[in-house]
Amino acid sequence: MINPQPVVLGEMPSLSKLYVNAATAAARRRVLGASTGKKKLPAASHEVRNVRADVDNLTAYQHLVGETASDILPAGYVHALAFPVSMSVMNRDDFPLPLLGMIHLKNHVQQRVPIAFPEALDIRSWAENMAGHKAGTQLDMVAEVRSSSAGELLWRGVSTYLAKGVFIPGIDKPGSTNGATGPADFSPPDPTALWQLGLDTGRSYATVSGDFNPIHLSVLSAKALGLRGSIAHGMYLASRALSDVGAAKADSFAWDVTFEAPVFLPARVALDITTIQSDSGSWERSDYVAWNPRSGRRHFTGSVTAGA
Amino acid sequence: MAAADVTTGETREPTITPQSTRSAVIVGGNRIPFARTGGAYVKSSNQDMLTAALEGLIARFGLQDERIGEVAAGAVLKHSRDFNLTREAVLGSALSPETPAYDLQQACATGLETVIGLSNKIKLGQIDSAIAGGVDSASDAPIAVSEGLREILLDLNRAKTPVQKLKIIGRIRPKDLAPDAPNTGEPRTGLSMGEHQALTTAQWKITREAQDELAFNSHRNLASAYERGFFDDLMTPYRGLSRDSNMRADTTLEKLASLKPVFGKNLGSEATMTAGNSTPLTDGASTVLLATEEWADAHALPKLATVLDGEAAAVDFVHGKDGLLMAPVFAVPRLLARHGLTLEDIDFFEIHEAFAGTVLSTLAAWEDEDFGRTRLGLDGALGKVDRAKLNVNGSSLAAGHPFAATGGRIVASLAKMLHEKGTVDGRPARGLISVCAAGGQGVVALLEAA
């Protein structure tokens, strides 16, 4: 159960400090033994109040993912605003899984009400649903964004992460079906767009989102964490897909993405967006799928659906 | 010769036949507050601002998913990659993606010309609805590479072997790396727009005091229009700004008098043009919704005013025959004559305040007997503009002047003023718009309460 009283942080946590802290903890574990020894998710939630978007940062984010710089915060930008709060929960001493090396499996966002700059926001985050996965242990990081003045819930995000190779006794019950079925056979459709992603894509998104996870920054820093090269941020790819869905979408919507093969940089990514309209012609849903145009491997799939 | 085209001032009969075509009505407008350059919109592009103004218009008049007949807008400072600026803004908006759009560029007259051109299409029956607009960013201005570097880069692109490429790269000199930023200089004279106006201001003997007073009135009128809530249905906030950031509601004649001259310092005569009585560089965007009466009725939307007519003029400024910004002086008498009207038949004058000196030189030329006879082809002076009818809700000196956005600002505001006024002596209230532009051009338009 999540404690109804959040731990209120005085200011937005610094992501760079959190990453350094996580790296130190990881090094310590390597010396002292693999497991954190914890079996439960922390019951605490963290909250930061009166958060306002920085207009230069907002504009830079919008331009990077292909959005027009309007006063409405893109749903992916709100995720980036909330991310340090979630990270601070995952950085707690009583958090059972190692933060570094976690894999973003899927993301679900409900944009209930459009958020306009410069509205003040209260951002709260906690962890829940720790469960076994065939490759390790997965959990959900939940973030809720409310209007500081009215208290209304505006945005809710659930990010599902996998701690690969971490098995917690009692949770890694045999026969876990999470992640057990591989991706279905995929035959690429004709693309509606083709993205050219340069080697600096990860660094550019890190600059606007603050997510300086080393796996995205350079070949060297990614190799240090066991990857063969740097990879694009999942939320960068999903945010570009959301931007490509465009202005047709309704004011309130649900936005889903499931990540499959990572995008190693530099890359060409093929994208197909299919729009589903109601009988009256109004927008109902846009489905998207992205793949590697050379290998045909699927990178991610998702949808944007009217109503949240 | 401009004068040869002007019918005599004595003519009181319209020279055009009564309209057999449809009328084009102004439904309303929307703009974002204008921001001084380097201010609230410093990182926003032309496309961002135009889309923001457009989205506000769409929200105000319920145009989501609507296929508009055509959208036309433009920017004066425009990067070559923005060749489809207006269409891109439409695609980024809630309008139907099946709405066509085109870009237009006529210096500072861009915005007004989009209104006239689209109104003509409506009148001809080609379209039933249209959105006119304009945008400019002095903050996010395009910067080109120097001519030398441009040639080298193009040669490099054509080179086939690494040796050829290396040779070409070796041609780059430090001076080639200096960027080529846009400026307000006239290509044929090398004089800035302010220097040109300083010549005209001196020629018409416009005093410093008269210019400062016009600037003072602009700020005072704009501030009181905001206080009355006049702009509440003409504007949507953007980037935390809800009023034009250049406006100084508390400015005084003393403060304006204390400013040092910035233009015309080397003319010999006294320099009178300051930062206070000249428009500052500004960022902003504006839009205007136009339609047939039937379209407006069918969508249950207001009809504020009718676009009666427009006229463009140009002057031979290069060797000083006329001042750079004096073309409207010739366009207005031609437009009025076509409708059998005089300055006294106009209820609101919107003369764009590029500089206070521009407005005052224009008024002086119209009041000048000799100029009226020799240059306008009239029997005497064109007439006097009643100052109580001039720029009554402020103009560019206070609001700022994002070049292509000024036309839309004026048209939407004037349409609302005409609608509020309704009738004068049993006839619909009339408004005249005058906008000067670089290259010695000017565009003017006649609006009437609907």
Summarised one tens digit per residue, pLDDT across range A197-255 is 999 999 999 999 999 888 999 988 888 888 899 999 999 999 999 999 998 888 999 99
Q: Is the pLDDT of residue A271 over 60?
A: yes
Query: pLDDT tens digits, residue range B330-339?
Result: 999 999 999 9
DSSP tag of B366 = H
Query: pLDDT tens digits, residue range B122-175?
Result: 999 999 999 999 999 998 888 788 888 888 889 998 999 999 999 988 888 888
Domains along chain A? 1-169 (3.10.129.10), 186-308 (3.10.129.10)
A209 neighbors A61 (Cβ within 8 angstroms): yes
The amino acid present at B138, given as its one-letter code, is: A
ipTM: 0.89
Catalytic site includes residue B319: no
Confidence band of A174 (pLDDT split at 50, 70, 90): low
* C-alpha R_g of chain A: 19
- Report pLDDT for B147: 85
B430 neighbors B447 (Cβ within 8 angstroms): yes
- Report pLDDT for B142: 80
d(CA A180, CA B273): 77
Query: pLDDT tens digits, residue range A20-50?
Result: 888 888 777 766 655 567 789 999 999 999 9
> Residue range A62-84: average pLDDT?
97
Q: To which residue do tokens 């020629």 refer?
A: B203
- Report pLDDT for A34: 52
Nearest in space to B204 (alpha carbons), one of B31, B434, B13, B360: B360
d(CA B385, CA B393): 16
Nearest CA in chain B to A66: B92
> Residue range A116-126: average pLDDT?
97
Q: Is the pLDDT of residue B374 over 70?
A: yes
d(CA A218, CA B9): 75
Confidence band of B14 (pLDDT split at 50, 70, 90): confident
d(CA B365, CA A288): 64
Q: Is any Cβ of chain B less than 8 angstroms from the Cβ of A54?
A: no
B324 neighbors B406 (Cβ within 8 angstroms): no
Q: Tokens representing B221?
A: 């009128």
Q: Is the pLDDT of residue B4 over 60?
A: no
Which residues of chain B neighbour A117 with C-beta distances below 8 Å? 239-240
B311 conformational bin, left if phi > 0, alpha if psi -120 to 50, beta if neither: beta
DSSP symbols for B180-210: B---SB-TTT--BHHHHHHHHHHHTT--HHH
Catalytic site includes residue B419: no
Whether the bond between B187 and the residue before it is cis, its omega within 30 degrees of 0, is no
Q: Is any Cβ of chain A less than 8 angstroms from the Cβ of B79?
A: no
Confidence band of A107 (pLDDT split at 50, 70, 90): very high
Distant-in-sequence, close-in-space partners of A248: CB < 8 Å, separation ≥ 6: A275, A283, A286, B97
Q: Is any Cβ of chain B less than 8 angstroms from the Cβ of A207?
A: no
- Report pLDDT for B279: 95
State whether A69 and B240 contact (CB < 8 Å).
Answer: no
Buried b (16+ CB within 10 A) or exposed e, A116-139: ebebebbbbbbbeebebbebbbbb
Q: Is the pLDDT of residue B20 over 70?
A: no
pTM: 0.92
Identify the residue with better confidence: A126 or A173: A126
Interface test mutation site (partner A, options B30, B41, B44, max chain A beta carbons within 10 A): B44
State whether A60 and B43 contact (CB < 8 Å).
Answer: yes
Residues 217-246 of A with CB under 8 A from B: 246
d(CA B217, CA B252): 10
Averaged confidence pLDDT in chain A? 91
Distant-in-sequence, close-in-space partners of A184: CB < 8 Å, separation ≥ 6: none
d(CA B214, CA A83): 53
Q: For A247, which of B47, B92, B239 is closest by C-beta distance?
A: B92
Q: For B51, which of A68, A281, A282 is closest by C-beta distance?
A: A68
Which residues of chain A neighbour B46 with C-beta distances below 8 Å? none
Share of chain A above pLDDT 70, in %: 93
- Report pLDDT for B12: 62
A23-30: list long-range contacts, CB under 8 Å, 24+ apart.
Answer: A23/A100, A25/A98, A25/A99, A26/A98, A26/A99, A26/A100, A26/A101, A29/A98
- Report pLDDT for B2: 39
Query: pLDDT tens digits, residue range B214-259?
Result: 999 999 999 999 999 999 999 999 999 999 999 999 999 999 999 9
Q: Is any Cβ of chain B less than 8 angstroms from the Cβ of A63?
A: yes
Q: Is the pLDDT of residue A141 over 80?
A: yes
d(CA B274, CA B280): 10
Identify the residue with better confidence: B147 or B12: B147
SS3 state at B256: helix
